Structure 1
Amino acid sequence: MVVNNPNNWHWVDKNCLTWSKEYFEENLLGLDAQDETSNVHIVDVSSVEGDVDVSQRKGKVISLFDLKIVLSFHGYNEKDDDISGSITIPELAYDSEESDLVFEISVYNESSENTGITTLIKQKLVPQLKSKLLKFGPDLIETNVRDIQIEKDKVTSTYTKGNLSQAPAPAQQPQQKKEAPKPVAKPTTTVPKKEESKTSGTSKIPKYNTTTLHLEPSFNTSAEQIYITLLDESRIAAWTRSYPIIEKFPPKEGSTFKFFGGAVQGKFLKLVRNEQIVELWRLQDWKEGHYAELDMKLVQSSGETKLVVKFSGIPIGEEERVKDNFEDMYIRSIKITFGFGAVL
Structure 2
Amino acid sequence: MVKKDEGCCEITEVSKIDGEASANNRKAKLIFFYEWEIKAEWSGKLTDGKSKFKGTMEIPNLSDENDPEDLDIQITTKSKNDDAYKLKEILRVNGTEKIQQQLGQYIKKLKEEYSQGMILPTAKDGEVVKPVNKTTNKNTVSQKASTSSILSKVDVGQLDIGVKIRTKTLKLKEEFKCQAVDLYRALTERERVQAFTRGPVENQAEPGANFTYFGGNVAGQFINVEPYKTIQQKWRFKHWPTGHYSEVTLSLEEKADCTQLNLEQTGIPEQDYEKTQEGWMKYYWLPIKQTFGYGASLF
TM-score, structure 1 normalization: 0.41
TM-score, structure 2 normalization: 0.47
